[in-house]
Amino acid sequence: MEELTHLDDEGTARMVDVGAKEATARRAVARAVVRMSPGTAAVVAAGDAPKGDVLGVARIAGIQAAKRTGELIPLCHPIGLDHVDVEAQLDADAGTVTLTATAGVTARTGVEMEAMTAAAVAALTVYDMVKGLERGVSIEAVELLSKSGGRSGKWVRA
């Protein structure tokens, strides 16, 4: 196991100093899955949700969240993203919305947290926008799918 770099000699949490690291192109992809009834999903698909365009608003919320990750996650470095996008796929029959967030940057630190934050906030936005139709909606997963760049190179979820 690698040495924990977010702890100082006394075991206190700290932000890692990445100043000596080389800036490299980095990319991360994360996914969140939201489950609802097929009836609620059909309303989302038809664009008839009481709060409006569920998937469009969720996409924008995810993008905004990625840009603010350094403010939300205490030890996360604030970075100027080169790219962030959130795609939403609705399977009305299964009652699922799959939100896939991609983040990219050339920097000294990775973008995994930005991609995961985008996916998570997009999923929370879907919940918020359909809770008037169904309270039992659940967010089933928020997970990193892949990352590339930096010292550890490429990683892909098996």
Angle at which helix 112-130 crosses helix 54-67, to 10 degrees, equals: 150
Does residue 45 sit within a domain? yes
Share of the chain above pLDDT 90, in %: 80
Does residue 92 sit within a domain? yes
Question: Which phi and psi angles does 138 have, rounded to 5°?
Answer: -130, 150
Q: From the candidates 9, 53, 82, 128, which is the catalytic residue?
A: 128
pLDDT tens profile 12-27: 777 777 877 888 999 9
pLDDT tens profile 100-152: 999 999 999 889 999 999 999 999 999 999 999 999 999 999 999 999 998 88
Does residue 19 sit within a domain? no
93 included as an active-site residue:
no
What is the number of domains present in the chain? 1
> What pTM does this model have?
0.91
Does residue 8 sit within a domain? no
Range of the domain at 56: 24-148
CA–CA separation, 112 vs 144, rounded Å?
7
Q: For residue 99, what is the domain's CATH number?
A: 3.30.70.640
